[in-house]
């Protein structure tokens, strides 16, 4: 029975070692040395597991949108946004030529960023960069308190249905997760509001596609507008 218990503990320790390496990047010592370390410093091992726990199961808050109306390019161009105070740069993980990421800030609903990787676009992302050159003179911070999104390729109804639309986006600021955005599957403007976050020179916002609404024709995920709100 003692040998059976030892084999069981050894197997559990191997699985524990694999979990710690996956989340922390540190390999535990072999079973015999590990057993001695557990006897000597059990509290240290507990601390490692506690620190890894949020990575295992904790999910980010999901913000749901305020739904507006179907926008024209004239409406989009006349809206007050963070663009009233400053500019930014746009990049993406990939794009399907000629539908690149510049379409996200051209204030034209007839254009769209279309992911260029494997369909339907899970894991693709868009980055908004805020270099110091884009900040107003004398300002070191700018408050950000929302986003306006137009999901899908908004050129017309048939085009919108043909391409996949974002269903859930993870938003990170400089690699720190802020929250997730849960989009509705329709063509109206979707506004997401949250407590102000101060943007500083050099900051980057990343929007990663976690889920999509599939398009009728199997085309990749598309996004016609991604407008940051705030500065007031």
Which of 207, 203, 215, 181 minimizes the C-alpha distance to 88? 203
pTM of the entire predicted model: 0.73
CATH class label, 62-230: mainly beta
Domain positions in the chain are: 2-57, 62-230
Which of 155, 189, 226, 149 minimizes the C-alpha distance to 69? 189
Burial of 14 (0-12, 13-18, 19+ CB in 10 A): middle
Cα separation, 52 vs 41, in Å, equals 18
Cα separation, 31 vs 213, in Å, equals 47
What string of pLDDT tens digits covers the 232 residues of the chain?
555 555 555 666 566 666 655 555 556 666 566 555 455 344 333 333 333 444 444 468 999 999 999 988 777 776 788 988 999 999 999 999 889 999 998 989 999 999 998 779 999 999 999 999 999 999 999 999 999 999 999 999 999 999 999 999 999 999 999 999 999 999 999 999 999 999 999 999 999 999 999 999 999 999 999 999 998 6
The pLDDT value given to residue 51: 39
Q: Let me know: does 101 contact 222? Beta carbons within 8 Å.
A: no
Cα separation, 174 vs 125, in Å, equals 14
């Amino acid at each position: 029975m003692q040998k059976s218990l030892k084999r069981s503990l050894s197997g559990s320790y191997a699985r524990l070692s694999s979990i710690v390496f996956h989340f922390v990047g540190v390999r535990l010592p072999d079973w015999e040395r590990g057993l001695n370390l557990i006897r000597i410093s059990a509290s240290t091992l507990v601390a490692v597991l506690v620190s890894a726990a949020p990575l295992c199961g904790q999910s980010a808050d999901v913000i749901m949108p305020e739904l507006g109306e179907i926008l024209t390019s004239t409406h989009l161009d006349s809206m007050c946004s963070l663009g009233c105070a400053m500019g930014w740069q746009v990049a993406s993980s990939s794009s399907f030529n000629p539908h690149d990421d510049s379409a996200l800030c051209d204030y034209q609903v007839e254009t769209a960023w279309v992911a260029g990787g494997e369909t339907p676009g899970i894991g693709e992302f868009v980055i908004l960069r805020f270099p110091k050159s884009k900040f107003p003179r004398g300002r070191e911070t700018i408050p950000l308190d929302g986003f306006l999104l137009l999901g899908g390729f908004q050129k017309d109804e048939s085009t919108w249905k043909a391409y996949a639309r974002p269903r859930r986006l993870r938003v990170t600021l400089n690699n720190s997760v802020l929250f997730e955005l849960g989009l509705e599957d329709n063509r109206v403007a979707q506004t997401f509001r949250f407590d102000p976050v101060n943007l500083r020179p050099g900051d980057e916002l990343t929007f990663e596609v976690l889920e999509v609404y599939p398009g009728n024709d199997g085309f990749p995920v598309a996004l016609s507008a991604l407008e940051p709100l705030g500065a007031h």
